Amino acid sequence: MDQYVVVGNPIAHSKSPAIHATFAKQTGQDMNYSTLLGEDAQFENQVRCFFSEGGKGMNVTVPFKERAYALCDVLSPRAKLAGAVNTLMLGKNGKVYGDNTDGAGMVRDIVHVLGQSLEGKRILIVGAGGAVRGVLDPVLAQNPLSVTVANRTVSKAETLAEAFGCQASSFEALEGTFDVIINGSSASLSGQLPPLKDELVGAHTWCYDMMYGKEPTVFLKWAQTLGAKGADGLGMLVGQAAEAFFVWRHVRPEQAPVIEQLRREM
């Protein structure tokens, strides 16, 4: 049976084993997927040991995505753009291949599962950290009218805008309504709302939070009070996993039933 693992710290809470077990059952794949607690001083050794012992693939989560990027022999184009890796695979030549499926997973959730087109839309992305860097290229590939990155530290937004060919702004300087607002900041983790003006939300604005929880995030509650519809990032979690599964097994699982199952269990 082929062995796969997700490494992070903390990791006990991870939903990835349940997600991949369901994908394997769906698609008839003979594989086992477990968790590995990453050790700060031993992470690189843990990766090498896993592959030397016959492991086939590894997912990488907080706080090791940048370190995973650094240890790869070969990087996918989207991993290079993201500057971080969440999916590892051992090639037939013994080289470690790194990919980043976060952005593709989010876009697939938004466009294919939730049915929200990004083409021709005026899009605002909140935050300028690694999560946003990982999704910018897949979002831009959907041919939106414009993409603006807003962040408290404007220079960080400007760095991303320059790298990806989009726009940057402070929160204060944002004007007009947006068709789609994506929250990629860490504010939801601490129950905070980014400093967004109510007038950014129009009659047809649709909002997406990369974070998720049993209850709607503060960002989504704010959007709802202004009449906007939206979704949280549970589908992104499943989407990035489905994309990693496709990289490893060359078969694409069904995401919607897994999202519904996880939602029921929360």
> For 192-228, what is each residue's pLDDT tens digit?
899 999 999 999 999 999 999 899 999 999 999 999 9
Predicted local confidence at residue 202, as pLDDT: 95
16 is in an annotated binding site: yes
List, for the chain, all residue ranges whose pLDDT scores fall below the cut of 70.
none
Predicted local confidence at residue 133, as pLDDT: 92
50 and 124, same structural domain?
Answer: no
183 and 114, same structural domain?
Answer: yes
191 is in an annotated binding site: no
61 is in an annotated binding site: yes
84 and 25, same structural domain?
Answer: yes
- Nearest of 239, 237, 250, 235 to residue 56 by alpha carbon: 250
114 and 14, same structural domain?
Answer: no
Provide the edge-to-edge strand list for the sheet that holds 167-169: 167-169, 146-150, 122-126, 178-183, 201-209, 229-231
Q: Which domain holds residue 60?
A: 2-100+236-265
120 and 48, same structural domain?
Answer: no
Predicted local confidence at residue 186, as pLDDT: 85
179 and 92, same structural domain?
Answer: no
Predicted local confidence at residue 92, as pLDDT: 84
Predicted local confidence at residue 191, as pLDDT: 85
63 and 43, same structural domain?
Answer: yes
Angle formed at CA 67 by CA 76 and CA 95, multiple of 5 degrees: 50
94 and 53, same structural domain?
Answer: yes
190 and 242, same structural domain?
Answer: no
pTM, two decimal places: 0.94
Q: Please, are residues 71 and 42 in contact by the beta-carbon 8 Å criterion? A: no
165 is in an annotated binding site: no
CATH of the domain at 204: 3.40.50.720
129 and 176, same structural domain?
Answer: yes
Tokens of 49: 């040991």
**Total domains in the fold of the chain:** 2
Burial class (CB in 10 A: 0-12, 13-18, 19+), 190: exposed
126 and 91, same structural domain?
Answer: no
Q: Please identify which of the residues 65, 80, 214, 221 carries the catalytic annotation.
A: 65
Q: Please, are residues 220 and 213 in contact by the beta-carbon 8 Å criterion? A: no
| Bridge partners (DSSP) listed for residue 3 | 32
Predicted local confidence at residue 222, as pLDDT: 97
Predicted local confidence at residue 130, as pLDDT: 87
240 is in an annotated binding site: yes
CB atoms within 10 A of CB 158: 17
- Nearest of 146, 147, 149 to residue 160 by alpha carbon: 149
Predicted local confidence at residue 36, as pLDDT: 98
The answer to whether residue 214 is catalytic is no
Q: Which amino acid is at 103?
A: G
| H-type alpha helices, 100-228 | 102-108, 130-140, 154-164, 218-225
167 is in an annotated binding site: no
161 is in an annotated binding site: no
217 is in an annotated binding site: no
- Nearest of 147, 77, 153 to residue 118 by alpha carbon: 147
86 is in an annotated binding site: yes
Predicted local confidence at residue 64, as pLDDT: 94
